Amino acid sequence: MILTDKIRTLIFDCNENNIRIVGDLLTANCDDVIVVGTDTSTVGIDKLLQIHKPDIVFIDSGLLLETSLDTILKGEHSFEIVFMAENNEFAIQAFKFSALYCINKPFLKEEVREAIVRFRRKPSHYDFNRLRALVVEQKEEECRIILPDSIGFKIVNVNELTRCEAEGCYTRFYLKGADGCIVAKPLSSFIKLLSEHLFCRIHKKHLINLNFVKQYVKGRGGHVILQDGSKVEVSERKKKEFIESLKYFAYSFLEG
**Rounded-to-integer distance, Cα 231 and Cα 88, Å:** 36
Which pLDDT tens digit goes with each residue over 199-223?
Answer: 899 999 999 998 899 999 998 899 9
Residue 17: pLDDT over 90: yes
Q: What residues pair up with 213 in beta bridges, in sequence order?
A: 226
Q: Which residue has the higher pLDDT, 44 or 72?
A: 44
Cβ neighbours of residue 156 closer than 8 Å, sequence gap 6 or more: 144, 145, 147, 175
**Phi-psi sector, 177: left (phi>0), alpha (psi -120 to 50), beta:** left
What number is the average pLDDT over the span 29-35?
Answer: 94
Closest CA to 233 of 203, 197, 193: 203
The answer, as to whether pTM is greater than 0.75, is no
